[in-house]
Amino acid sequence: MGPWQGNFPQWAPVWAAVRGLHSTAFGDAVVMVPAGASVPPQYVATWPGGDTPRAAAAVADRSGALLTLVTGDEETAGTFAAGYGLAPLSRLALLAADPADVPQVPQLPDGAELTLISEPAWRSVEITASGGPVARGKLALGEGFALLGGIDIRRADPDHTMEAAILASLAAEAADSDAALVLLPALPKSALWYGRHGWSAAAQILTFMRSRDAA
């Protein structure tokens, strides 16, 4: 069992928090919705998982709802979802790292400044240059781990200078908080670059919607 799977009930709500979403338990799955908004929910579960069939059935029964499966077996997860009339919508790679293996000293572009902002549910890092924000990221803490997200690069960053600075600052925050593990959902195309900076692929995050809604 991978580290993402054993503590899924802990890190899934943290992932919701770093995305600005409210979460509630759904057996061993988690339901995520924007706080205060009346929109179809996103059911997040492991594959395989005890309450994953119940989550899939709920999505199949409600227009606009989403099912997100965190899994190490993409092929059987897709087959499972298809059995409930669900079609692939998007995919992310769940990356994991020991904070000690990730660079923790931000190298900022010339003229840029980095600011750490502490909120009740998360901490965020923002890089400003030329009078405005150009990059930011968030970190939310769980028991013994941290989850990074909300990486937003607002200007061209071909050599990943700003992205690397954001990650280094967030990794330093995780280390200072005694997190033994950091998790990061990222686009699959970015996994190779992250791999050169101490991250490794832990699982796939696959999101599905009803096939008839996608038509």
CATH number of the domain enclosing 187: 3.40.630.30
**pLDDT, position 2:** 65
Residue span of the structural domain in which 106 resides? 97-200
pLDDT in tens, 98-117: 988 988 877 887 888 999 98
CB 210 within 8 A of CB 85: yes
Shared domain check, 86 and 104: no
Together in a domain, 111 and 183: yes
Residue 208 has what pLDDT? 98
Number of helices (H), then strands (E), in the chain: 7, 11
Sign of CA dihedral 43, 45, 47, 50: negative
pLDDT value for 27: 95
SS3 131: coil
Low-confidence ranges of the chain (pLDDT < 50): none
Work out whether strand 145-153 and strand 181-186 pair parallel, antiparallel, or are unpaired: parallel
Residues 116 and 71 in one domain: no
pTM, full prediction: 0.91
Two tokens at 9?
């009930």
Residue 30: which of 49, 158, 94 has the closest Cα? 49
| pLDDT at site 201 | 92
Q: What is the pLDDT of residue 30?
A: 97
Q: How many domains does the chain have?
A: 2
- In the prediction, which pLDDT does 96 show? 94
Q: Which residues contact 77 (CB under 8 A, 6 or more apart)?
A: 47, 69, 71, 204, 206
Spatial neighbors of 141 by CB under 8 A, at least 6 apart, are 14, 123, 174, 177, 179
Say yes or no: 180 and 151 in one domain. yes
Neighbours of 35 (CB within 10 A): 9
Instruction: Tell me what pLDDT residue 159 has.
Output: 84
pLDDT at residue 212 in the model: 92
pLDDT of residue 61: 97
Strand partners, 181: 145
Q: What pLDDT score was predicted for residue 130?
A: 84
Amino acid 3: pLDDT = 65
Number of other residues whose CB lies within 10 A of the CB of residue 27: 13
